Amino acid sequence: MNTYRIAVLVGSIRRESLNRKLADALAKLAPADFSFYDLRIDDLPLYNQDDEEHPVEAVQRLRREIAEADGVLMLAPEYNRSISGAHKNAIDHGSRPYGKNRWAGKPAGIIGLSPSPCGTALAQQHLRNILAVLDMPTMAQPEGFISYYEGLFDEDGNIGPNSRDFLQGWMNRFSAWVRLHGDHE
Amino acid sequence: MNTYRIAVLVGSIRRESLNRKLADALAKLAPADFSFYDLRIDDLPLYNQDDEEHPVEAVQRLRREIAEADGVLMLAPEYNRSISGAHKNAIDHGSRPYGKNRWAGKPAGIIGLSPSPCGTALAQQHLRNILAVLDMPTMAQPEGFISYYEGLFDEDGNIGPNSRDFLQGWMNRFSAWVRLHGDHE
Amino acid sequence: MNTYRIAVLVGSIRRESLNRKLADALAKLAPADFSFYDLRIDDLPLYNQDDEEHPVEAVQRLRREIAEADGVLMLAPEYNRSISGAHKNAIDHGSRPYGKNRWAGKPAGIIGLSPSPCGTALAQQHLRNILAVLDMPTMAQPEGFISYYEGLFDEDGNIGPNSRDFLQGWMNRFSAWVRLHGDHE
Amino acid sequence: MNTYRIAVLVGSIRRESLNRKLADALAKLAPADFSFYDLRIDDLPLYNQDDEEHPVEAVQRLRREIAEADGVLMLAPEYNRSISGAHKNAIDHGSRPYGKNRWAGKPAGIIGLSPSPCGTALAQQHLRNILAVLDMPTMAQPEGFISYYEGLFDEDGNIGPNSRDFLQGWMNRFSAWVRLHGDHE
């Protein structure tokens, strides 16, 4: 059991983050042999190449935790039509120093939630470009442009009935994607 | 033999296209069980939704040829920091009508050649966004930003010695990518 | 009067194009000294560098009509998360041959309409990148991500009451943008 | 004199940043009535909406300094095919809280330097999308994709002879862009 360990990166660090809630609700839709753990990003310093070889503990922790993952689930809020600074900062820390990119080869899924009718589509476009250079096989469809509405989550934090089928389908594809790349690369 | 048939889309339609030459040279680096065939795009009309249900023969041909592929190799020239109109037009024809996207599920590799020091990197960023919505699993690394130099091709049209290792490595990853997705999806 | 002549490029060539209707309705919101004319794109051949120096009449016409403009209004439908092939093809023709980019210096506005809740936001992101290399000063806000709904147009083809203020504001900014760049560059 | 005050944002925070050197060298090419000052970004916390209404002093300082600018010069290093986390984080702080975007209306120029033959072209594409939503009129050409070479800077930190004309031309266009938008908006 729990053969596949998925690192979850939520790009927003506020307490009541919608994307945090979505991450938790998605995890409950996963197959029994999948487990999820968070990559903490709110205590990371701003990435500075001068400190790259002597990283503080928070950076070392991030790198260890990425390395242990069988896959990565990225929850991308949209700030100013791109991913958040905190999200990008964590990605940069994990990719360095040169030649020690911990993200390489990890199968990834991208999804994001916002009150906008667009979900976080524009941020996700940028994120796809970034994950490509990191050498992360990134699931294509279904696109995860989720627009918040009353009832998206039920009172227990599960996905509500109107979005259950879509997000269960998303998780089914994502778990198949992780298995495919986990077994072979 | 020739278990894997790869459809090749060259985004430039001029006779002496550098990307056409690169496509031909890459094909020679492929494993013995891979074969390549061209998607002709220069005789396609501009995509018009009004004609979608009654396509001319050139469009029908394109759709058939995409459907037969086990993988797609896209050679992307860069025109004005994006892919060419001819390239995008062919992609649009292949994706329609709604519900009959022939590109779906085909593993893809992106590469491009230009005289610019950037290769065709900016066009390829846009192309990655497009292939994601088409549901094409697209190889991440190695990035195919190839800058032309005297000697890239030898007199027989093969890849010259300075780029042989890089492009052989690219083809090895691409063929493994096609096998992985071909066996499982 | 009609001091400012605006070339209109509608990226869809189907007869009942929503973006065509939006272009017509927007023109009615413009100041009295603005006039609008269409850049016809449906009869252009696919751009081919081999024919660049001896263009057919349709290409010559496009280039003349761009050159005469004091500004450009681009209506961008979204096809597969980017602009249409027909739209890109027209842009490429207007930009060539090298050194004779007719788009250079023309102030531009981008807007697009679709049934999607996102409007055509993802296509417009790509289009902004393209207009930058063409050296077109492109209006920033307000973003023109218009989602179609019943009542957007009234029976005379004018903008309906719920979107009148927003689109009048858009046109006011656009006309000020054209005046600013027209007087000075 | 010093009628135009330009805020400089260097997206790298390491001590020997190439983009820092480029910023300093560019400032020396500016007209006599232009002055430049740095936006410090290395002591900013990660943006967190929970703290938005009660920002620490470093954030308040950033917002004040943006508000005072007549134009903004952005030096964009490229990290993983996008702008740095530190760069995006500073942009996000300056744009918030909602309705108090300090960047709005400031004319902007984008340039970046790296050892890559591509300069930082891919990061700059994302940055253009971001500046559009911030409502910053952003100079189109000339593109500032600068690739580092021995001799780019002379021993006094000035631009060396091989790039002097190009970068002087860049600064001439940028200063004209700032004047145009400064006088009129």
Q: Across residues D7-15, what is the average pLDDT?
A: 97
Q: Is residue B181 within a helix (H) or strand (E), and if so which, with residue range?
A: helix B161-184
What tens digit of pLDDT does each residue of C124-178 get?
999 999 999 999 999 999 999 999 999 999 999 999 999 999 999 999 999 999 9
Counted across chains B and D, CB pairs separated by less than 8 A come out at 21
Residue A124: closest C-alpha in chain D? D126
The rounded percent of chain A whose pLDDT value lies above 70 is 97
Dihedral (Cα; D36, D18, D165, D160), 10-degree rounding: 110
Which of A101, A177, A184, A185 is most worth mutating to test chain B (most B CB atoms within 10 A of its CB)? A184
Residue A184 confidence (pLDDT): 44
- Cβ D50 vs Cβ A52: under 8 Å: no
CA distance B113 to chain D (A): 14
Closest CA to C62 of C106, C93, C34: C93
Which residues 43-82 of D have a C-beta within 8 angstroms of C?
Answer: none
Whole-angstrom distance, CA of residue A152 vs CA of residue A145:
13
Whole-angstrom distance, CA of residue C35 vs CA of residue C33:
7
Rounded to whole angstroms, what are the CA distances from A129 to B143, D77, D80, D86, D87?
11, 16, 9, 18, 17
**Interface residue B137 vs chain A (CB under 8 A):** yes
Whole-angstrom distance, CA of residue A51 vs CA of residue C75:
47
CA distance A117 to chain C (A): 5
Asked if the Cβ–Cβ distance from C133 to D141 is below 8 Å, we say yes
CATH number for the domain harbouring residue B52: 3.40.50.360
* Number of neighbours of residue B155 by Cβ within 10 angstroms: 6
Model pTM score: 0.97
Rounded to whole angstroms, what are the CA distances from C94 to C44, C61, C83, C103?
11, 10, 16, 7
Q: Across residues A151-155, what is the average pLDDT?
A: 97
Asked if the Cβ–Cβ distance from B145 to D121 is below 8 Å, we say no
What tens digit of pLDDT does each residue of D146-176 get?
999 999 999 999 999 999 999 999 999 999 9
**Interface residue D140 vs chain C (CB under 8 A):** yes
> Tokens representing D30?
């500016």
Whole-angstrom distance, CA of residue D22 vs CA of residue D24:
5
C13, pLDDT greater than 60: yes
Residue A179: closest C-alpha in chain B? B184
Contacts of C104 in chain B (CB under 8 A): none
**Interface residue B83 vs chain C (CB under 8 A):** yes
CA distance C122 to chain A (A): 6
What tens digit of pLDDT does each residue of D140-154 get?
999 999 999 999 999
Whole-angstrom distance, CA of residue B56 vs CA of residue D45:
59
Whole-angstrom distance, CA of residue D78 vs CA of residue D114:
8
Closest CA to D87 of D100, D70, D74: D74
Residue C182 confidence (pLDDT): 86
Contacts of A118 in chain C (CB under 8 A): 117-119, 121, 145
Asked if the Cβ–Cβ distance from A140 to B133 is below 8 Å, we say yes
Average pLDDT, chain A: 96
- Cβ C25 vs Cβ C151: under 8 Å: no
Residue C185 confidence (pLDDT): 41
Banded pLDDT at D182 (limits 50, 70, 90)? confident
Tokens 């916390």: give the residue: D45
Which of D13, D44, D51, D80 is most worth mutating to test chain A (most A CB atoms within 10 A of its CB)? D80
Map residue B32 onto helix, strand or coil: coil
Beta bridge partners, B146, equal: B113
Q: Across residues A81-91, what is the average pLDDT?
A: 98
- Cβ A110 vs Cβ A127: under 8 Å: yes
Helix B121-133 with B85-95: angle, nearest 10 deg? 10
C184, pLDDT greater than 60: no
Whole-angstrom distance, CA of residue B122 vs CA of residue C130:
10
Residue A110 confidence (pLDDT): 98
Return the DSSP state at B177. H
Tokens 């696109």: give the residue: A143
Interface ipTM: 0.96
String of DSSP letters for B40-82:
--TTPPPP-GGGTTS--HHHHHHHHHHHT-SEEEEE---BTTB
Q: Across residues D50-79, what is the average pLDDT?
A: 97
Q: Is residue B170 within a helix (H) or strand (E), and if so which, with residue range?
A: helix B161-184
CA distance B13 to chain A (A): 27
Residue B121: closest C-alpha in chain D? D122
Q: Across residues D11-21, what is the average pLDDT?
A: 97
Map residue A101 onto helix, strand or coil: coil
At CA C71, angle to CA B88 and CA D141, rounded to 5?
Answer: 70
What tens digit of pLDDT does each residue of C15-52 get?
999 999 999 999 999 999 999 999 999 999 999 999 98
Whole-angstrom distance, CA of residue A80 vs CA of residue C155:
37
> Domain range holding D52?
4-184
Tell me how many domains chain D contains.
Answer: 1
Which of B113, B114, B118 is most worth mutating to test chain D (most D CB atoms within 10 A of its CB)? B118
Q: Which amino acid is at A120?
A: T
Whole-angstrom distance, CA of residue C85 vs CA of residue C68:
24
**Candidate from A44, A46, A86 with C-beta closest to D13:** A46
Tokens 């700030």: give the residue: A79
String of DSSP letters for C61-89:
HHHHHHHT-SEEEEE---BTTB--HHHHH
Beta bridge partners, B114, equal: B147
> Tokens representing A176?
């198949």
The per-residue pLDDT string of chain B (185 residues; one tens digit each, 9 = 90 and over) reads: 669 999 999 999 999 999 999 999 999 999 999 999 999 999 999 999 999 889 999 999 999 999 999 999 999 999 999 999 999 999 999 999 999 999 999 999 999 999 999 999 999 999 999 999 999 999 999 999 999 999 999 999 999 999 999 999 999 999 999 999 986 44
**Candidate from D133, D137, D140 with C-beta closest to C135:** D140
Query: Half-sphere exposure of residue B86, counting CA atoms within 13 Å on the CB side?
Result: 24
- Cβ D23 vs Cβ D75: under 8 Å: yes
Banded pLDDT at D53 (limits 50, 70, 90)? confident
How far out from the chain centre does Cα C11 lie?
8
Residue D101: closest C-alpha in chain A? A80
Residue D185 confidence (pLDDT): 41
Whole-angstrom distance, CA of residue C80 vs CA of residue C83:
8
Q: Which residues contact D21 (CB under 8 A, 6 or more apart)?
A: D113, D153, D157
**Phi and psi at residue B108, in whole multiples of 5°?**
-130, 150
Which residues 106-135 of C have a C-beta within 8 angstroms of A?
Answer: 117-119, 121-122, 125
**Buried-exposed string A124-150: b where 16+ CB fall within 10 A, e elsewhere:** bbbbbbbbbbbbbbbbbbbbbbbbbee
Asked if the Cβ–Cβ distance from C143 to D133 is below 8 Å, we say yes
What tens digit of pLDDT does each residue of D111-129 get?
999 999 999 999 999 999 9
Rounded to whole angstroms, what are the CA distances from A93 to A105, A132, C82, C86, D41?
16, 16, 31, 42, 17
Contacts of C147 in chain A (CB under 8 A): 117
**Candidate from C12, C41, C46 with C-beta closest to B86:** C46
Asked if the Cβ–Cβ distance from B81 to D122 is below 8 Å, we say no
Asked if the Cβ–Cβ distance from D79 to A13 is below 8 Å, we say no
Contacts of C91 in chain B (CB under 8 A): 80, 85
Whole-angstrom distance, CA of residue D50 vs CA of residue D134:
21
Residue B182 confidence (pLDDT): 86
